[in-house]
Chains A and B, each alone.
Chain A
Amino acid sequence: MQKPLHWREIIITRLIQASGYSAILFVAAIFLFLMREGLPALGEVKFSDLLAVRWYPIEAYFGILPLITGSLIITIGAMLIAFPLGIATAVYISEIAPRWVREILKPLVELLAGLPSVMLGFLGILVVSPFLRTALDLPTGLSAFAGSLLLGGIAVPTIVSIAEDALDAVPRSYREGAWALGATKWQTIWRVTLPAARSGVLTAIMLGIGRAIGETMAVMMVTGNAPVLAITPGSLFAPARTMTATIAAEMGEVASGSTHYHVLFFIGIVLFMISLAVNIAASSVVFRAKKRAERILS
């Protein structure tokens, strides 16, 4: 081989390698810049004040607790809706549905995954929240529950596609073994297939949670954005405000470098940490399951 080609080869290899490592660089850069802009908040506001229950930045009350509880209650509500629907749909698609139904259902679910969340939020304002107001007789339909409904819809496609992959990956021989022992199809699904796909289903739920807690525009549009502490189940039907919506709504109007600005970045750090924890937990579940499978097969 001629020399110039050889050099080119080395340079290209290095470039490709650098691109591979860039993913680590980006995560680190995101972390660094959040820290750079958000940590000063700890110097300007006492930590105990940050954990207070009053969020009213104009008068320098920076208690982020109502925002955290708002995010939590909306996410919990969303999961209560998305978990049964998502898993049931995944089981239906992968185990029960006849072929033609499957061919229709899968693209539909993918279509839902592709809809921009602003559009869902827009429909939420026009359809979901007026409906909730009249159906549940609430003072306003813009409530945490409306947010949960929309977030449920946003998390469902994630849960369905990952859970369905997991169910598909269960070897056919497991099912055949169960049938040979006289189990019905239903018993096979319930006691063999689902337990075998357990880790994938768990990952699906965790990533669904991650998707729901990080969603911004749709929740901002339908939850009413009142920063009140949400700790009783009843507050699911009252207006609430999430961390993401707070950042999106207030960042545009804040002077860069002010305390309010730093606190908004601090909320960003909290969100970043939550998504980091959820994703690392989700991938370690997969990793452990893979290890176990290798041990059994070897």
Chain B
Amino acid sequence: MNHSSSTRNLIQRIGFGALSVLAFVTVAPIIGTALYILWHGGSAISWEFLSGFPRDGMRAGGILPAIVGTFYLTVGTAIFSVPLGIAAAIYLSEYAPDNRWTRLIRIAIINLAGIPSVVYGLFGLGLFVIFLKFGTSILAASLTLSIMTLPVIISTSEEALRSVPQAFRTVSISVGATRWQTIRRIVLKEALPGILTGVILGLERAAGETAPILFTGAAFFLPQLPNSHSTRPWPCLITFLSSRRKYPTCRFKFNMAPRWCCWFLCWE
């Protein structure tokens, strides 16, 4: 502290100024992105665009098959990952002893969360598409995505379960409930909002992912609705976007972005 107090104040003022500028630099592109999308794509949204089928090799028409594809995929992912994820969270917060195995489970979850999404795609291709012979299908893609969303659901749900006060459990058990009854009727009920947040966060990640479904279940172009759950390839909003290079008509593709924005605003 060898500076005089005025120098110190000056340093503080400069430092705070620099930090606020940096913070602004971080958020400015976010606001810019949102405005840019709404400005350029907002006018393109119409009922016909949302409910039509693509025509002319995806140069015109609507994106209904893509929306339906994404919907199937998200529901499929939820069916597999939500029960498994919540059960794993219950195990970790209510049953698991503090030993080496539990630590191993935690390390496994951290690693699942960190594995690059394209590696999930490879895994899905190797296990579900080729080894289990599901073919490229909604089933294979949903299973791949559900393993990918598992860590998000587990860790958020576990937080929610842990935040239920211990006294609730003690009281429930002291009036004669078994451990499972306590969890099901008291703890789960209390933790429900937190668990739902985790589920939404996880499914949001699934609905926005592209790389893992490229090899496991995506079709670029499909003029009808996807109608079979396991054999027919299905289209997906996301692959529409990423197939941009093959169909370079920008105008049509561009309309995809605002759709996503609405989608995510709804989620948040």
Please give the residue numbers on chain A whose beta carbons come within 8 Å of chain B beta carbons, in ascending order.
Answer: 1, 5, 8-9, 12-13, 15-17, 19-24, 26-27, 29-30, 33-34, 36-37, 84-86, 88-89, 91-93, 96-97, 105, 107-112, 114-123, 125-127, 153, 156, 160, 182-187, 190, 207, 210, 213-217, 221, 244, 247-248, 251-252, 256, 264-265, 268, 271-272, 275-276, 278-280, 282-283
Tell whether A207 pairs with B114 under 8 Å between CB atoms, given A16-B95, A252-B214.
yes
**A residues within 8 A CB of B31?**
108
CA gap between A184 and B7 in the complex, in Å: 11
Grouping DSSP codes into helix (H, G, I), strand (E, B) and loop, the B interface class, with mixed when no group exceeds half, is: helix
**A residues within 8 A CB of B30?**
108-109, 111-112
* Contacting pair A279 B121 (CB below 8 A): no
CA gap between A109 and B33 in the complex, in Å: 13
* Contacting pair A92 B150 (CB below 8 A): no
Select the residue from B18, B107, B114, B151 with max chain A CB neighbours within 10 A.
B114
In the complex, residue of chain A having the shortest beta-carbon distance to the beta carbon of B90: A16
**A residues within 8 A CB of B84?**
19, 22
Tell whether A182 pairs with B122 under 8 Å between CB atoms, given A29-B127, A122-B257.
no
**B residues within 8 A CB of A89?**
22-23, 26-27
What are the interface flags for B228-268 relative to A under an 8 Å C-beta threshold, 1 for contact and 0 otherwise?
A: 00000000001001101000001001001100100010011
**A residues within 8 A CB of B36?**
123, 127
**B residues within 8 A CB of A279?**
107, 110-111, 113-114
Q: How far is the CB of A95 from chain B (nearest CB, A)?
A: 8
Q: Tell which of B33, B90, B127 touches A33, judged by Cβ atoms closer than 8 Å.
A: B127
* Contacting pair A214 B119 (CB below 8 A): yes
With A34-B126, A109-B26, A247-B121 given, name 18 new contacts (CB 8 A).
A23-B109, A108-B30, A111-B30, A115-B33, A116-B207, A116-B264, A120-B33, A215-B116, A216-B118, A244-B118, A247-B118, A251-B122, A252-B214, A264-B122, A272-B116, A275-B119, A276-B114, A279-B113
9 tightest A-B CB contacts, nearest first: A214-B116, A20-B91, A116-B208, A19-B87, A88-B22, A186-B12, A33-B126, A92-B23, A216-B211
**B residues within 8 A CB of A118?**
208, 210, 238, 241-242
* Contacting pair A214 B114 (CB below 8 A): yes
* Contacting pair B241 A86 (CB below 8 A): no
Please give the residue numbers on chain B whose beta carbons come within 8 Å of chain A beta carbons, in ascending order.
Answer: 1, 8-9, 11-12, 15-16, 18-20, 22-23, 25-27, 29-31, 33-34, 36-37, 84, 87-88, 90-92, 95-96, 101, 104-123, 125-127, 130-131, 147, 150-151, 154, 178-180, 204, 207-211, 214-215, 238, 241-242, 244, 250, 253, 256-257, 260, 264, 267-268
